[in-house]
Amino acid sequence: MARVVVDVVMKPEILDPQGQAILNALGRLGIEGVSSVRQGKHFELEVADDVEDADLTKIADTLLANPVIEDFTIRR
Amino acid sequence: MARVVVDVVMKPEILDPQGQAILNALGRLGIEGVSSVRQGKHFELEVADDVEDADLTKIADTLLANPVIEDFTIRR
Amino acid sequence: MSRPAVDTVEVAATSPSQSQPFKELGLNAEEYQRIKDILDRRPTSSELAMYSVMWSEHCSYKSSKVHLRQFGDKVPAEAKDILLVGMGENAGVVDVGHGLAVTFKIESHNHPSYVEPYQGAATGVGGIVRDILTMGARPVAVQDALRFGPANAPDTARVLPGVVAGIGGYGNCLGLPNVGGEISFDPSYLGNPLVNALCVGVLPADGIKLAKADGPGSHVVLFGARTGGDGIGGASVLASASFEAKGEKKRPAVQVGDPFAEKVLIECCLEIFAADLVTGIQDLGAAGLSCATTELAAAGTGGMDVDLDLAPLRDETLTPEEILMSESQERMMAVVTPENLEKFLEVCAKWEVTATVIGTVTDTGRLVMRWHGETIVDVPPRTLAHEGPVYERPVRRPYDQDALNGEHGNGLPRPKSGEQLRATALKLISSANLADKSWVTDQYDRYVLGNTVLAQPEDSGMIRLTDRALDGSGEADLGVAVSVDGNGRYTRLDPYAGAQLALAEAYRNVATTGARPLAVTNCLNFGSPEDPAVMWQFAEAVRGLADGCQQLGVPVTGGNVSFYNQTGSTPILPTPVIGVLGVIDDVSRRTPMALRGDGAQLYLLGDTRDEFGGSEWANVVHGFLGGRPPKVDLTREKLLADVLINASRDGLIDAAHDLSDGGLFVAVAEGCLRGEVGVRLVVPEGLDPFVFLFSESAGRAIVAVPRTEEVRFTDMCTARGLPATRIGVLDILESAIEVQGQFRLPLSELRTAWAATLPDLFG
Amino acid sequence: MVTFPGSLDDRDALRAVRLAGAEPVPLWHGEKWLSDVQAVVLPGGFSYGDYLRCGAIARFSPAMDSIVDGARQGMPVLGICNGFQVLCEAHLLPGALIRNRSQKFICRDQAVRIENAGTAWTADYEDGQQLVIPLKNAEGCYVADERTLDELEGSGRVVARYLDGNPNGSLRDIAGICNAEGNVVGLMPHPEHATDPLVGPGTDGLPFFSSVLRALVGAA
Ligand SMILES: Nc1ncnc2c1ncn2[C@@H]1O[C@H](COP(=O)(O)OP(=O)(O)O)[C@@H](O)[C@H]1O
Ligand SMILES: [Mg+2]
């Protein structure tokens, strides 16, 4: 049993309205010094040790992320 | 300029419908060995170096997470 | 994993003196003693958990029961013809003919919505929808009545968007059209917003399902979501008080909703109902399993055996006490005969719904629960479900009531010149309470299911129940109309009249669209019942509502009481929210609010008096609350309704809109903006322009009458004795509201002022 | 007409198909295939709660495999709203649909222009015809890379465009697109809710359903 973390973020060229909204909110909160916010998804999976990295990659780019608009990173 | 990552996850005792739905889908995809999935949010912030950790914490628990149902971790 | 020892009946019998945290669970010493007398031993911690939630104000209605009885005592004669199920069940059921019945109910989720606005509001919708489903009905529409602090208060900017997104997020995902509601702002709601959700469902008149466990040997099936530690903050004291080693484990006070699970649960249940596979069914809401098991048993043969450890859990560390108190959403309990069980489980499997047999119906008169073989609960179910404590709380007219009614505010400076009237009109129409609500309502799906005949901003939502368009029979389609209304300021000035004015407005809104009002549901939002002044407001409001329903001939079919709505010791404005349901035999005859028809005559129905107590004008312009609310005349309301209904059936009017908050000008403005037509208004003889435009006299509506029907229409009004005053003519070329001799306000300017307010506030 | 768990506008679409004079066949997402089906509508809603990403999970239901094959062999497929999202997730259509620029669910009567009346689903319209049909979604913002967008424009595969203001931030105001063959169409607004004036803004949506009917009858 191991915990695997997959982070999914929008490709840089795709606009990210959620991140934008947060950035504006920061302004209203009067917080300085944050120049950009991007929001993505964070997955925590409990996987059996015999699960191959290849399987994890498959999970990430067929299900957890949509490669058309998103990039992902896997941390085992 | 530094990149700060904030991960927000539902408190363990709180229902995570999305994670549950993904787990079931994995089953249908015929992928074995994943026993649990939890979905959270992943934020990437560009912050000036003079921004204090205290500010980041404030951002996280006022804006990025609702401490009533979510926990967060900050990586600078 | 070794299980922590549990507090069994055996242990309880032999350790009578063990101290128990009944106070922390909200029970007082007398109540605790009563439990001991009932069981004739100390309760086990599981039993204590059950009694504490079942005897809570929320579940036992201990402070309100003595007052709510009036709804039954004063039930109008009309009720017997239409009422299939009255108060007391999950929701009342009304016969609407054509073999169809309709069930509807409104419920509050105020406190959770303050803590976690999105999830609080979302689970509020989920809860009321399950109540409707439990009656055997397909939910077909929702409405929401909302109250927030001042629109420009920072915390309102936190709560309102979350609440609206939550109601939309859950309702949209369930595929239920949102067809109306209301939203208004007042400082008294800042620390205690109101989120009341209403749901309407349709079922075959002979397909009603009830919450009772009949027939010994039948299976008790728990199905839907797994049980987790949702909303059981209270139970932690038990966990630590029972012999469990590791004490404090924080449990969340809020529940998280899973609308997808609920959508699947709905379709699954409807398939089960259609195949007639259950003898009784109950949703799991407040008090979860405690409530479902005791109510099913109490209403049925009388006994039930349950193996609590069979309940599917989301969190394996839950103790039995926590399982019994858990308010996890999207769960139902059904009573299924042995021969139907297999079919029942098949349907659940098709929808991928978890279903588990956890018990059996018995005739022992006892509810017995086991935990891994050990008996942890052995109680007479009625003592939890029906025989809880009942209090006759002291009532006292608030000390400031006379002063409040005394300051009539007649001295408040009123606009005189046309210029001043124009400025007042703009100020009112752009105030948060009267401004365009589409920022809110555009976040709700009003089209899904394809039967929405009318939705916000119409006077009431209207849903088509039959669909004969396709079977070629060419017959008219039946529909129901629903409206919810409430006015905290009126109720503060006079709770008896305030409740009746809310009832009258909802009743009027339904009739305005051409539907015949049939039945009433209500959500009574008040402060603490332990405050005699609040209790007086409550008693007066209930008395007013009961009398009003009797006079109007519309029975109360159900509702909900929400007490302890206060910040510190300051209660909210007393806020009874009243929902009225009506029926229309031919939905194509509905009357819309959009003023239409060039040259059509605009008529004002009813009497206009100098009535500004509790008005929007006094509130917005002077921040003043005092005097008396508008006069209530229910005979007149009934007459007005008859005229509006007949006029729609006979096609005498093109449009109608009820007059309420803000008075005539606001109603005319809403009608013109929706119809994109101008109007030339004439101030009637002997009426002061200011009173004409802004008074909030009740029992009034405006109607647009085509020239061809004018005589027939006015004759009908004269014959019935309803005052109908011609106040203007519609003009499609003149895109402005012109009040002759006073002022002219272009629709464009009006629309900007009206539409900009909420977007400017909430983005 | 495919119903996934969480499909919502399936009944409405069935009704629209019937109003157009065709015989709708309800398909359960778990069913593998129905040989006698001639065209498929993927209705709106929140399949699987729209968890993860809209349409991401529905894409893997059994029915989808055969629908993808059918589509590749030229069977007309219309994805409405959530159905559009499923078609993108299944890579039958390029690009993707993300959260509305406003962050909010939007329900409103939307003006759109038909840009390509040549597809199986739009033949009964004129090029450039303007319609008003309900739009209701939270993830309606169409995105794709510039190359894809130019390709869509160049080959006339933008089927419908928003008018009078872009409601959700869709690139190039795109409301609907089709595949190269024109048999697969994805559309954000809901034509099935504009087929009966009593319960919708009008009847502007009906031709989507009559078009495919004529295409099939013509072909037969
Ligand atoms: N929170 C809400 N949800 C749905 N509809 C709403 C909401 N608030 C207001 N509306 C709709 O906006 C319209 C105007 O509301 P309101 O001023 O209460 O009307 P009235 O005073 O005639 O009852 C009504 O159609 C009402 O249903
Ligand atoms: Mg109202």
pLDDT tens, C471-527? 667 788 999 999 999 999 999 999 999 999 999 999 999 999 999 999 999 999 999
Model pLDDT for residues D24-50, shown as the tens digit of each residue? 888 787 776 656 788 889 988 888 777
Phi/psi-derived region of residue B56, left when phi > 0, alpha when psi is between -120 and 50, beta in every other case: alpha
Closest of C666, C209, C230, C587 to residue C424, by C-alpha: C666
Q: Which residue of B has its CA nearest to A47?
A: B34
CA C244 to chain centre: 41
For ligand 1, is residue C433 a contact (CB within 6 Å)?
no
Beta strands A2-10 and A70-75 are antiparallel
Q: Do C251 and B13 touch (CB under 8 A)?
A: yes
In this complex, which of C252, C260, C261 lies closest to B14 when CB atoms are compared? C252
Structure tokens at C39: 């069981």
Beta bridge partner(s), residue C567: C570
The ligand 1 atom at the shortest distance from the C-alpha of residue C456 is 25
Mean pLDDT, chain C, integer: 93
Residues C452-470 have a mean pLDDT of: 92
Say whether residue B6 is in contact with chain A using an 8 A CB cutoff. Answer: no
Using DSSP's 3-state secondary structure scheme, residue C218 falls into: coil
Alpha-carbon distance of C91 to C138, in angstroms, equals: 13
Q: Which helix (H) or strand (E) holds C695?
A: none
pLDDT band of residue C246 (cuts 50, 70, 90) is very low
How many other C-beta atoms can be found within 10 angstroms of the C-beta atom of residue C623? 8
Residue C222: pLDDT over 50 = yes
pLDDT for res C490: 98
Please answer yes or no on whether A66 and D94 come within 8 Å at the CB atom: no
Side-by-side strand order, sheet with D184-187: D40-42, D77-80, D184-187, D174-178, D158-162, D106-114, D130-137
Q: What is the mean pLDDT of residues D52-64?
A: 83
Residue C755 has pLDDT above 90, yes or no: yes
Give the rounded percent of residues in chain C with a pLDDT score beyond 90. 84
pLDDT in tens, D125-176: 999 999 999 999 999 999 999 999 999 999 999 999 999 999 999 999 999 9
Q: Please give the pLDDT value at position D24.
A: 83
Token pair, residue C106, equals 């409104």
Are the C-beta atoms of residues D174 and D157 closer than 8 Å to each other? no
Q: How far apart are CA C498 and CA C478, in angstroms?
A: 32
Q: Do A43 and B40 lie within an 8 Å CB cutoff?
A: yes
Q: Which chains touch D (3 or more CB pairs under 8 A)?
A: A, B, C
CATH topology of domain A2-75: Mth169; Chain: A , (3.30.1280)
Question: Do residues D214 and D37 touch, judged by C-beta distance below 8 A?
Answer: no
Return left, alpha or beta for C360; rule: phi > 0 is left, psi -120 to 50 is alpha, else beta: beta
Nearest CA in chain D to A8: D52
Residue among B13, B21, B68 minimizing CB distance to C116: B68
| Confidence at residue C234, expressed as pLDDT on a 0 to 100 scale | 53
Query: In Å, what is the CA distance from C98 to each residue of C482, C485, C517, C730?
Result: 19, 29, 17, 39
How far is it, in rounded angstroms, from Cα C332 to Cα C222? 6
Decide if D77 contacts D68 (C-beta within 8 A).
no
- Read off the tokens for C445: 């799906």
Does residue C546 contact residue C76 with C-beta atoms inside 8 Å?
A: no
**What is the maximal distance between C-alpha atoms in chain B?**
49
- The answer to whether the CB of C670 is under 6 A from ligand 1 is no
Give the number of other Cβ atoms within 10 Å of residue B50's Cβ. 8
pLDDT at D184 over 50: yes
Residue C459 Cβ contacting ligand 1 at under 6 Å: yes
Cβ neighbours around B3 below 10 Å, total = 12
For residue C241, pLDDT over 50 is answered with: no
Mean pLDDT computed over C631-657: 97
For the stretch B51-61, pLDDT in tens is 889 889 988 98
pLDDT digits (tens, 9 = 90+) for C425-452: 999 999 999 999 999 999 999 999 999 9
The Cα-based distances of C345 to C188, C272, C761 in angstroms read: 49, 10, 50
Identified catalytic residue from C67, C109, C219, C657: C109
Question: Is-contact C106 C145, C-beta < 8 A?
Answer: yes
String of DSSP letters for C119-184: HHHHHHHHHHHHHHHHTTPEEEEEEEEEEES-TTSHHHHHHHHHHHHHHHHHHHHHT--EEEEEEE
pTM (2 decimals)? 0.92
CB C682: neighbour CB atoms within 10 A? 16
**Max Cα distance, chain D (Å):** 46
Task: Take residue C447 and report the two structure tokens written for it.
Answer: 């089209």
* pLDDT for C3: 59
Averaged pLDDT, C405-418: 93
DSSP for residue B48 = -
Give residue for tokens 């005979």.
C635
Token code pair at residue C649: 């059936």
CA distances from D117 to B62, D17, D39, D185, D217 (A): 50, 19, 18, 12, 18
Interface test with B, best of D48, D53, D89, D103 (most B CBs within 10 A): D48
Cα C333 to the center of its chain, rounded Å: 24
Specify the amino acid at residue D43: P
pLDDT at C649 over 90: yes
- D85 to chain A: closest CA residue: A66
Q: Is the pLDDT of residue B13 over 90?
A: no
| Cis peptide bond prior to C457, omega within 30° of 0 | yes
Beta-carbon-side half-sphere exposure of residue A60 (alpha carbons within 13 Å) = 24
- The angle formed by the CA atoms of residues D98, C261 and C254, to the nearest 5 degrees, is 90
Cα C172 to Cα C258, C393, C444, D186: the distances in Å are: 12, 41, 6, 21
Model confidence at C677: pLDDT above 90: yes
pLDDT band for C2, please (50, 70, 90 cuts): low
Catalytic residue set of D: 81, 190, 192
- pLDDT band of B15, cuts 50, 70, 90: confident
Question: How far does Cα D13 stand from its chain's mean position?
Answer: 11
pLDDT at res. D47:
81
pLDDT, greater one: A30 or C123:
C123
- Return the residue matching tokens 């006979």: C650
Ligand index nearest the alpha carbon of residue C196: 1
Nearest 5°: phi and psi at C50?
Answer: -65, -50
Q: What is the pLDDT averaged over residues B16-21?
A: 88
Contact, C739 vs C693, CB < 8 A? yes
CA gap D38, D36 in Å, rounded: 6
DSSP C545-592: HHHHHHHHT--EEEEEEE---EETTEEPPPEEEEEEEEEES-GGGPPP
- Ligand 1 pocket mutation, candidates C147, C182, C184, C590, criterion most atoms within 8 A of CB: C182
Name residues 199-218 of chain D within 8 A of C (Cβ).
199-200
Rounded to an integer, what distance in angstroms lies between the CA atom of residue C303 and that of residue D87? 53
Strand partners for C656: C703
Buried/exposed code over C84-111 (b: 16+ C-beta within 10 A; e: otherwise): bbbbebbbbbbbbeeebbbbbbbbbbbb
Q: How confident is the model at residue A16 (pLDDT cuts 50, 70, 90)?
A: confident
Does the distance separating the beta carbons of C442 and D192 come in below 8 Å? no
DSSP letters, C591-618, are PPSS--STTPEEEEES------TT-HHH
pLDDT of residue C165: 96
Among protein residues, the one with the nearest Cα to ligand 1's atom 20 is: C459
**Beta-ladder partners of C516:** C583
C260 → closest Cβ in D48, D193, D196: D48
In this structure, the strands spanning B70-75 and C575-584 are: unpaired
In angstroms, what CA-CA distances link C51 with C35, C383, D15, D28? 8, 9, 50, 45
- Contact (CB, 8 A) for D62 and B30: no
Q: What is the pLDDT of residue C68?
A: 95
Using a 6 Å cutoff on CB, does residue C182 contact ligand 1?
yes
User: In the prediction, which pLDDT does B12 show?
Assistant: 83
Cα nearest neighbour of C116 on chain B:
B68
Nearest CA to ligand 1 atom 24: C457
Report the pLDDT value the prediction gives residue C238, as an integer from 0 to 100. Answer: 54
Query: Measuring CA to CA, which residue among C43, C622, C42, C755 is closest to residue C377?
Result: C43
Does residue C408 carry a catalytic annotation?
Answer: no
* Percent with pLDDT over 90 in chain D: 61
Which residue in A18, A64, A68 is closest to D99 by CB distance? A18
Confidence at residue C65, expressed as pLDDT on a 0 to 100 scale: 94
Atom of ligand 1 nearest to the CA of C146: 1
Asked whether the beta carbons of C388 and C60 are under 8 A apart, the reply is yes
Catalytic residue flag (residue C386): no
By C-alpha distance, which of C455, C525, C531 is closest to C113? C525
CA–CA dist D112, D114 (Å, integer)? 7
Report pLDDT for C536: 98
Q: Residues C620, C661: contact at Cβ < 8 Å?
A: no
